[in-house]
Amino acid sequence: MSRIQIEGLTRRFGQVTAVDHVGIDIPDGDFLVLLGPSGCGKSTLLRMIAGLTPPSDGRILLDGRDITHIPPRDRDLAMVFQSYALYPHLTVARNIGFPLRARRRPRTEIDSRVETVTRVLGLGELLTRRPRELSGGQRQRVALARALVRDPGAFLLDEPLSNLDATLRTATRAELTELHRRLGSTFVHVTHDQVEAMTMATRIAVLNRGRLEQVGTPSEVYDAPATTFVAGFIGSPAMGLLSARLDLVDGGLYARAEGVDLPVGPGDPEDGARQVLVGVRAEHLALVAPSTAPLRGVVRLVENLGSEEVAHCLVGEARLTVRGPRPLGLAAGDSVGLTTDPEHVHLFDPGSGRRLVRTPTPVTAVQS
Amino acid sequence: MTTSRAMTAVLSVGETRRPVLGHAALAVLGVVCIFPIYWLYATSFRAPEDIYSLSPFPWPLSGANYATAFQVLDIGGLLLNTTVMAVGIALGQLLTGLLAGYAFAAWEFRGKQLLYLVFVATWLVPFQVTMIPNYALLSQLGVLNTIAGVVLPSLCSALGVILLRQHMQGFPTELLEAARLDGRGSWATLWTVVVPNLRPALAALGILLFVNAWNEYFWPALVLQRSNAVLQLGLRSFMGSEGNDWGPMMATAGMACLPVLLLYLVLQKQIVNGFVRSGLK
């Protein structure tokens, strides 16, 4: 139905480059979440797909057709705005029917489509109300219904959950996922909330300062972050990063720094003496006796999350967090020893911030 | 219980005193505003021989002044002419204000700021400066002595443009964008999304423009040399070199005020809304 290809898309506002050569291929039926902190260009990117902001450079293809310079109404895309943008002077029914009336569809078709969509979203009793008489959640549904009624090729959602309270947000998240499963349409969803991204997306595109950092499934992005930015942005608490130097000892690589002597797996001679950033997620760290631990530090703060505790530790000059069932048995000021499996250690290049990938050594036994 | 009751009492005394003072001040102001209008109608209902009486109530009531006014002037015709003129000017200014305000608020185009400044600047040009060129132009067009001649140069007002642009800038951009995505063009968006949501502002501005046009004296006097064309000029008939004929003049003035008062009564809610909102922005 709708595959969206974005090629080298750029948008400059004066001196500022809001979106910088972004390229993503969104296959039909994908639920792509554009994730990033505020000001990372994710909304600008969505608005360029919608046709509301003209790109400075690059192309947008919809099912192979170049739509870069096609006006929004001819793009076969529907958008749900952060503020919902419901027409205040129209009833719910007329709000939902608005896109069809604008396209001069026959009255009977409009009525039946509005009827169908409102039934699907459970809006039947609200049809004669005006937007100001609706709760936040109801407004959100009406906005969604107005997008659905056109049966567009793809849905663009600009932080549609950010104005809902926490309980409603969780419920709506599940509903949106269900809706996507049922419709099978392409969804592009903008958010700064990593939980939304992890739970709803089939793929996540992480943006930072207008650049695309990584595109991948939620597990790929979480398990193998492509950059230190992604590593720090996704996951709560954030992945701890510490600066270290690699040493090759008997074919095994060790990350070494003050308080750090951590085996990170097998390596090649050229990896020795290389400076790296070492990242370990909080749940992959385990407590061991401080005297022999590969990571030695001091507990700065222990947070109680109810079922779990998170201890913030200082190892050398880096902050590492460790997470475990309550009680962890740690208190601020304690000396702490931490360890982890080499497979859970992420290595990044300190200059570019990009992930260092271990290529299989030529002498692996697997081949024989 | 006792303590809390006592406290409620103390609070209520303190809280009622201020509103009483406020209301008293507002009442005085209200009287000051209403008194001249009351005096106008009171005078118009006095018998012709009591016209200089200072009694606050016109008693016995007399319709003689109205009868005289109707004899001297074609009140019906004047009302019609004045209405056509005022409605024409108000609608014209509203329409041009709407279109220009929409362009300034919702569109991006080269020279927008400059053009807007020029618009604002025309507001600062005194009427006396444009009066003669306008008159000469009307004379060339051959529309002197006609209502059209009064209306034509007043079809665009900078005030309308400025106020409507201000209102439209406060209009949520996302609504305009939603309409664009939903398939409305710029023109259709103006009429199906912007105008219905600006109704209070449009009503308030419409009234303001109507009242301005209705009360206009000098420009119609210049263009319509016949004295009996609009109500405000009709009033001149009662001014003479040997004194003014106050009774019929007040009666005519009273009738001239009526349409404006009626309009206000009908659209009161919208007007108040419009001014309150423009104040909040």
Give me the numbers of helices (H) and strands (E) for chain B, helices first please.
14, 2
How far apart (Å, rounded) are the C-alpha atoms in residues B260 and B207? 8
Query: pLDDT (tens digit, 9 = 90+) per residue, A16-47?
Result: 999 999 999 999 999 999 999 999 999 999 99
Give the gyration radius of chain A's Cα atoms: 25
Answer whether B193 touches A (CB < 8 Å): yes
Q: How confident is the model at residue B216 (pLDDT cuts 50, 70, 90)?
A: confident
Answer whether A54 touches B (CB < 8 Å): no
The mean pLDDT value for A103-119 works out to: 93
Q: How confident is the model at residue A360 (pLDDT cuts 50, 70, 90)?
A: low
Q: What's the first-to-final CA gap in chain B, in angstroms?
A: 45
pLDDT reported for residue A363 = 40
Angle at A137 between CA A133 and CA A140, to 5 degrees: 90
The mean pLDDT value for A134-155 works out to: 92
Q: Contact, A153 vs A63, CB < 8 A?
A: yes
- Paired with A325 in beta bridges are A308
Does pLDDT of B179 surpass 60?
Answer: yes
Residues of chain B contacting A114 with CB distance shorter than 8 Å: none
pLDDT reported for residue A242 = 92
Query: pLDDT (tens digit, 9 = 90+) per residue, B82-117?
Result: 999 999 999 999 999 999 999 999 888 999 999 999
How far apart (Å, rounded) are the C-alpha atoms in residues A218 and A225? 10
Strands (E), chain A: 4-13, 16-26, 31-35, 57-62, 65-66, 77-80, 154-158, 186-191, 203-208, 211-216, 240-249, 252-257, 260-266, 275-280, 286-288, 295-304, 308-315, 318-325, 335-339, 346-348
Residues of chain B contacting A71 with CB distance shorter than 8 Å: 180
Does pLDDT of B11 surpass 80?
Answer: no
pLDDT reported for residue B59 = 80
Does pLDDT of B16 surpass 70?
Answer: no
How far apart (Å, rounded) are the C-alpha atoms in residues B272 and A252? 80
Please tell me the least confidently modeled range out of A218-222, A294-298, B152-156. B152-156
Please name the residues between 95 and 114 in chain A that touch chain B, using a CB distance below 8 Å. Answer: 98-99, 102-103
The set of long-range contacts for B148-154, using a CB threshold of 8 Å and a minimum separation of 24, is B149/B223, B149/B224, B150/B85, B150/B89, B150/B216, B150/B219, B150/B220, B150/B223, B150/B224, B150/B230, B151/B85, B151/B88, B151/B89, B151/B92, B154/B89, B154/B92, B154/B93, B154/B213, B154/B219
Residues composing chain A: 368
For residue A52, the chain B residue with the least C-alpha distance is: B177
Does pLDDT of A129 surpass 50?
Answer: yes
Three-class secondary structure of residue B27 per DSSP: helix
What does DSSP assign to residue A227? B
Query: pLDDT (tens digit, 9 = 90+) per residue, A170-217?
Result: 988 999 999 999 999 999 999 999 999 999 999 999 999 999 999 999
ipTM: 0.82
Does pLDDT of B276 surpass 90?
Answer: no
Please tell me the least confidently modeled range out of A231-245, B98-112, B261-275. B261-275
Q: Which of A319, A345, A187 is nearest to A254 (CA)?
A: A345
CA A205, distance to chain mean position in Å, is: 6
pLDDT reported for residue A362 = 46
Please tell me the least confidently modeled range out of A197-211, A317-331, B232-246. B232-246
Give the DSSP letter string of B144-183.
TTSHHHHHGGGS--HHHHHHHHHHHHTS-HHHHHHHHHHT
Domain definitions of chain A by residue range: 4-226, 240-358
What does DSSP assign to residue A292? G
* The CATH number of the domain covering residues in A4-226: 3.40.50.300
Q: How confident is the model at residue B227 (pLDDT cuts 50, 70, 90)?
A: low
Answer whether B201 touches A (CB < 8 Å): no
Answer whether A262 touches B (CB < 8 Å): no
Q: What is the mean pLDDT of chain A?
A: 91
pLDDT reported for residue B235 = 81
Residues composing chain B: 281
CB A72 to CB B196 under 8 A?
Answer: no
Give the DSSP letter string of A28-56.
TT-EEEEE-STTSSHHHHHHHHHTSS--S
For residue A70, the chain B residue with the least C-alpha distance is: B181
Query: pLDDT (tens digit, 9 = 90+) per residue, B182-202?
Result: 999 999 999 999 999 988 888
The pTM of the whole model exceeds 0.90: no
Q: Which of A82, A93, A88, A101 is nearest to A121 (CA)?
A: A93
Query: pLDDT (tens digit, 9 = 90+) per residue, A244-298?
Result: 999 988 888 899 999 899 998 888 777 778 899 999 999 999 999 988 899 999 9
Does CATH place domain A240-358 in 2.40.50.140? yes
pLDDT reported for residue A164 = 87
Residues of chain B contacting A85 with CB distance shorter than 8 Å: 172, 174-175, 177-178
Q: Alpha carbon of A126 to those of A118, B179, B270: distances in Å?
A: 9, 22, 27
pLDDT reported for residue A354 = 93
Q: Contact, A153 vs A1, CB < 8 A?
A: yes
Q: Contact, B171 vs A63, CB < 8 A?
A: no
User: pLDDT exceeding 70 applies to what percent of chain A?
Assistant: 97
A·B CB contacts under 8 A: 55
Q: How confident is the model at residue A9 (pLDDT cuts 50, 70, 90)?
A: very high
The mean pLDDT value for A63-76 works out to: 92
pLDDT reported for residue A48 = 96
Q: Contact, B190 vs B107, CB < 8 A?
A: no
Q: Alpha carbon of B189 to those of A175, B177, B199: distances in Å?
A: 32, 10, 15
Distance from CA of A72 to the nearest CA of B (A): 5
Neighbours of A332 (CB within 10 A): 11
Nearest by CB to A99, which of B177, B182, B196? B182
How far apart (Å, rounded) are the C-alpha atoms in residues A250 and A254? 10
Q: Contact, A333 vs A301, CB < 8 A?
A: no
Strand A186-191 and strand A31-35: pairing?
parallel
One-letter identity of residue B269: K
pLDDT reported for residue B2 = 45
Answer whether A314 touches B (CB < 8 Å): no
CA B147, distance to chain mean position in Å, is: 19
pLDDT reported for residue B12 = 57
CB A102 to CB B182 under 8 A?
Answer: yes
How far apart (Å, rounded) are the C-alpha atoms in residues A311 and A331? 8
Q: Contact, A155 vs A179, CB < 8 A?
A: no
CA B183, distance to chain mean position in Å, is: 37
Are A4-226 and A240-358 the same fold in CATH? no
pLDDT reported for residue A347 = 92
Q: Alpha carbon of A76 to those of A62, A67, A111, A157: distances in Å?
A: 9, 10, 21, 14
Q: How confident is the model at residue A368 (pLDDT cuts 50, 70, 90)?
A: very low
What does DSSP assign to residue A58? E
The mean pLDDT value for A219-239 works out to: 93
Hey, what are B99's tokens?
């279109």
Nearest by CB to A89, which of B180, B182, B197? B197
Q: Which residue has better confidence, A99 or B127?
A: A99
Distance from CA of A195 to the nearest CA of B (A): 26
Query: pLDDT (tens digit, 9 = 90+) per residue, B21-73?
Result: 899 999 999 999 999 999 999 999 988 888 888 888 888 888 888 998 888 88
The mean pLDDT value for B75-79 works out to: 87
Q: Which of A368, A288, A301 is nearest to A336 (CA)?
A: A288
